């Protein structure tokens, strides 16, 4: 049985709703003097209560994420959504008073179904995260064992022939790849678990700091990386934006033929409250039929021996950008380089 909390200042409507809904659901009233901590599946509010408790409602809905705590507004204003552009932050649906019982029941059932589905997904996500943590712990233990025994053999290298030494080196490489795989899976699964933190960022300085973090890769490949665009301040989550930019920059350097010096140019602009960042390269390019699927997890277009990796870089870019309310894409011609771009609200 669903739990519905009524937050209505109109006493007549409060009594009528409680009497009618109690036939089908568990119904309670929010006590004005107490914080809104009661466990429930749906809140029904009217205009005066919404104005009074909207901060409490928003905080409570945020705590429920990724689950949904639906809120239904009873209103006498036909244009309530136009008059309150930010109403979506606190309310999922509204209904005009007076209202028929049949319509009210239909709206309530739809919102309760959304609540039920979101809680199922929340539980499955928690189960999946627990599974990933347990799996990674077991895998890391196995990798440590392999590395330990390889180290024991390494101490006896003087007794090994050339073929045995090559086999031992393959064990080291395999263990290192497994560690990278485990770390990548854990990082990808954790992406977006925390709350989005929007902070003022100097766009050019932020991009330049990401470039400096890749100095070793840049030096090893003899790459040239240029940053173009004026100094503009945007509001973004620095951790998510760094994940997106670092992956795009690293890919631009990596996916270039070994006999070609990578040339990477980063363009940043802000127009109409929209920040767009392009990372152009002179790399191998991406065929038109692959330009959408490369943003999916574990998609690899090239053999491991040519370009190492497990295929989570671009999917992490997409996930980080979408968590900030943005989008990402690529314009590319095989053999002539690529232009990967991200757009986020500024």
Same fold for the pair 3-99 and 199-345:
no
- Residue 309 to residue 305: CA distance in whole angstroms: 10
Residue listed under structure tokens 């574990």 = 298
The low-confidence residues of the chain, meaning pLDDT below 70, are 33, 125-142, 153-160, 177-178, 180-181, 183-195, 303-310
What pLDDT was estimated at residue 335?
A: 85
**Cα dist. 86→8, 80, 82, 90 in Å?**
20, 11, 9, 8
- Residue 262 to residue 148: CA distance in whole angstroms: 38
Nearest to 201 by CA among 227, 173, 169, 239: 239
Nearest to 10 by CA among 74, 57, 96: 74
pTM: 0.55
Provide the residue ranges of all domains of the chain, joining segments of one domain with +: 3-99, 123-189, 199-345
Query: Per the CATH hierarchy, to which homologous superfamily does domain 3-99 belong?
Result: Response regulator (3.40.50.2300)
Instruction: Determine the 3-state secondary structure of 181 from DSSP.
Output: helix
The fold for domain 199-345 equals: Heat Shock Protein 90 (3.30.565)
What pLDDT was estimated at residue 82?
A: 85
What pLDDT was estimated at residue 131?
A: 64
What pLDDT was estimated at residue 127?
A: 66
């Amino acid at each position: 049985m669903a739990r519905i909390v009524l937050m209505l200042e109109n006493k007549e409507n409060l009594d009528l709703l409680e009497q009618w809904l109690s036939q089908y659901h568990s119904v309670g009233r929010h006590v004005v003097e107490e914080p809104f901590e009661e466990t429930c599946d749906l809140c029904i509010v009217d205009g005066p209560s919404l104005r009074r408790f909207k901060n409490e409602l928003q905080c409570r809905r945020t705590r429920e994420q990724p689950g949904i705590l639906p809120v239904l507004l009873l209103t006498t204003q036909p244009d309530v959504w136009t008059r309150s552009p930010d109403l979506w932050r606190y309310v999922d649906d509204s209904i005009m008073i007076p209202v028929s019982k049949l319509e009210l029941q239909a709206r309530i059932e739809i919102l309760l179904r959304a609540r039920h589905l979101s809680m199922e997904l929340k539980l499955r996500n928690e189960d999946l995260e627990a599974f990933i943590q347990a799996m990674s712990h077991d895998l890391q233990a196995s990798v440590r064992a392999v590395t330990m025994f390889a180290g024991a053999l390494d101490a006896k290298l003087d007794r090994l022939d050339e073929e045995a030494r090559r086999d031992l080196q393959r064990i080291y490489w395999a263990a290192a790849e497994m560690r990278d795989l485990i770390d990548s899976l854990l990082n990808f699964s954790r992406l977006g678990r925390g709350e989005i933190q929007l902070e003022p960022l100097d766009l050019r300085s932020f991009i330049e700091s990401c470039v400096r973090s890749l100095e070793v890769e840049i030096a090893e490949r003899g790459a040239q990386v240029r940053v173009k665009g004026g100094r503009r301040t945007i509001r973004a989550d620095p951790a998510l934006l760094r994940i997106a930019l670092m992956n795009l920059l690293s890919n631009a350097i990596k996916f270039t033929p070994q006999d070609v010096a990578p040339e990477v140019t980063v363009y940043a602009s802000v127009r109409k409250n929209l920040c767009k960042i392009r990372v152009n390269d002179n790399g191998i390019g991406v065929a038109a039929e692959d330009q959408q699927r490369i943003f999916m997890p574990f998609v690899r277009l090239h053999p491991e021996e040519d370009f190492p990796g497990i295929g989570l870089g671009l999917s992490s870019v997409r996930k980080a950008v979408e968590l900030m309310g943005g989008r990402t894409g690529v314009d590319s011609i095989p053999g002539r380089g690529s232009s990967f771009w991200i757009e986020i609200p500024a």
